[in-house]
Structure formats: structure tokens, C-alpha cells
Amino acid sequence: MSLNLTDQRILVTGGAGYIGSHTSLELLANGAKVTIVDNLINSSADAVNRIRELCSTPENLEFSKVDLNDKSALEEVFSKAKRPDGPPFDAVIHFAGLKSVGESSQMPLKYYKYNVSGAINLFETMQRHKCFRLVFSSSATVYGVPESNPVNESAPLRTTNPYGQTKLMIEEICRDLANSTSNEKWQIVLLRYFNPIGAHPSGRIGEDPTDIPNNLLPFVTQVAIGRRALVRIFGNDYDTRDGTGIRDYIHVEDLAEGHLAALKRFNSNSESGSKAAFCNAYNLGTGSGVSVLEMIKIVENVSGKRIKYEIVERRKGDVATCFADPSKAERELGWKTKRSLHDAVASSWKWQSMNPNGFMQS
């Protein structure tokens, strides 16, 4: 997506992570000055180095190792960027947070501390510095078990795990901020991702799980590259075309462009003179679903490798089918996916092949 962000300063929390790194690179390609803050718990500083290598304006990228629960360090980031003629940042894109569904069920307090408390600290700091434009990295997990598919933004919000609950709680905080009776006019876009996959076409940045992958595709590609023995498929008796779960898989570069579309919404408001508060949610997905067995077959075709798998018992809370209705994002943000499932899998395999052990070990 082409968007002139020249001279705009964007703060990206969690910008060294999978989606954050691709979005940061896209922002830089469109002229923005990007400040990344990341505690590097589930990411690598090497991702930031590679963003600098890939972009044409490395001088426009700053990085600070900051945990959002460290209020003084976060305050320092905002104070350092202070400008006499406006807020320190034109907008904040908030990715930072823990994201393992399974771990969240084992350690819910950890997730509430990092995700919810961290978000509150960020919003309070933004408020002090009169920075009221926010894009929040939400998730399709806020829909829980969908009543029907495709899922649109008016579907009931309910979650099946603490991770999803933290996303929903932060969404509720955002809605309350936008509906506040104060003079602060928060403008907030909530982006509900479905299942991000893929990597940058260079193969230099991609998804690099620090432990056992929580998502399907990196697990499958790690089996294909020889890092893992097999894929465990949780249930093959769902009411789907082959008995395995169906999900909506979106290329991470399409997802990154969705964040630029959200910023474009802010810029359009500025051009029209509108300062009205709002908090709007948008699904980012393809609008179609792929099963686990279908995904394994696609990886086999792309990689030329045989993928071994075994069927194990369903996990509690797993959903049979979930895919997006992304029409609202196309209608209101002018965004839709451009890249195919094959493109996404091929880029993931390129990343995995070039970086068999992830960042720092390539």
C-alpha cells in the first residue's frame, strides 16, 4: 500500500516481533520515522538490525529495549521524542504482548500483567503526552466460538482463554477511552487479525518462535526443515470437509498494509478537519478458510518435503471453523488482501530455508 508518511513519527510497541517487524518495515518504506520499543522476551534485536538492512532510510528507525510495565522507561521514550508543535508521536501502533493461548491458561496472571497492565501504562503515557491516535493489534480470538462463518465485526464477543480475554479487555478499555466525556478525543482502530503467515520476500525477516511454535505453519515448516519430527493435529473429527480445523490464513505483508490503511484513516480525518473521537473494529483476513491437512499438503508441494503427522486428542476450546468477513475493512479502510495462500507459504518456506534456526543462528 502506498501512503505518504513523510515526517510522521510512529511509535511501534513490540516492533521487533513477527507482525511488528513487517509493519515497521512497511512504515519506513512509506516515509515514516519509526520508534520501536520491545522488551525482546519473545523477539530478537537482530530483527531490528535486519529491518535497517532492508529499508532505504535506516536513519529513520530508532529502537529502545523497553518493557511497557517499566513506566519510567516508557516515559523516557515519549519525553525524548517531544516536539514543540504537537505530540511526540503522530500515532501509536500497539503490538506488544504475550500471545500463547496454551501458556495463558497455565499462567493467566502473567498474561493480565503483561498485556492488560502494559496497555494501561502505554495509554496513560500517551494521555500525558496528548497522543490520542492508536492502532491496536487485536485478534479473532475475541469472537470465541463463532455462531456462524464468515465472522463479521458485529458477532458476539466472547473468549475461550485468558489470552483472548486480555485482547477483549484492552478493546473495552479502548472503547471507554473513545467514549470518554473528557476533552481528549481518542481515535482508535482495533484490528482483529485472523491467522498471520508468510514472511518478507527477501527471506530476511519472518516468524521466529522462541520455543515450540503456537501457530500451525511455522510448526509444519520446522518439520519440513528437520527441526521437528512431526506435526500433531489436534482432532480429525470436526464437522469440516476433512475433519480437521479450518482457519483463515492471511499473508503478514497484507496484514502490515492493513496498519497503513488504519493510519490513512487518521490522515483523512486530519485533512477533512474532523477531530471526532471514535473506536472502530475491523477484521483483517482473506474471507476463506483452509484446513490443517490442506495446509500440510500445500507445504509439501512448496518444499518438496514429506511432512509426517499424527492425530491426537482435541484441545479444550478449539474451534472447528473460523474465517473472516473482511468487507468492512475494504469498504471503510480501502484494504483487502492481495497475496495468495501459495505466496504466503512460499515466503514462509524461503524464510525457514534461509534461517533454519531463526534469528542470530542463520
* Grid cell for residue 218: 511455522
**Three-class secondary structure of residue 281 per DSSP:** strand
- Among 163, 193, 249, 282, the active-site one is 163
Q: Which residues of 223-237 are buried (b: 16+ CB within 10 A; e: fewer)?
A: bbbeebeebebebbe
Q: Distance (Å, rounded) from C-alpha 319 to C-alpha 80?
A: 45
Which residues share a beta bridge with 192? 138, 283
Q: Distance (Å, rounded) from C-alpha 93 to C-alpha 81?
A: 16
Beta strands 290-291 and 246-247: pairing type?
Answer: antiparallel
What contacts 69, CB < 8 A, 6 or more positions away? 113, 114, 117, 118, 121
Annotated active-site residue 112? The verdict is no
198 in Cβ contact with 339 (< 8 Å): yes
**Three-class secondary structure of residue 13 per DSSP:** strand
Comparing CA positions, the residue from 74, 103, 86 lying closest to residue 13 is 74
Q: Distance (Å, rounded) from C-alpha 106 to C-alpha 94?
A: 24
189 in Cβ contact with 262 (< 8 Å): yes
DSSP code of residue 227: S
Q: Distance (Å, rounded) from C-alpha 330 to C-alpha 157?
A: 22
286 in Cβ contact with 324 (< 8 Å): yes
* Grid cell for residue 106: 497455565
* Grid cell for residue 59: 536513519
Q: Which residues are catalytic?
A: 163
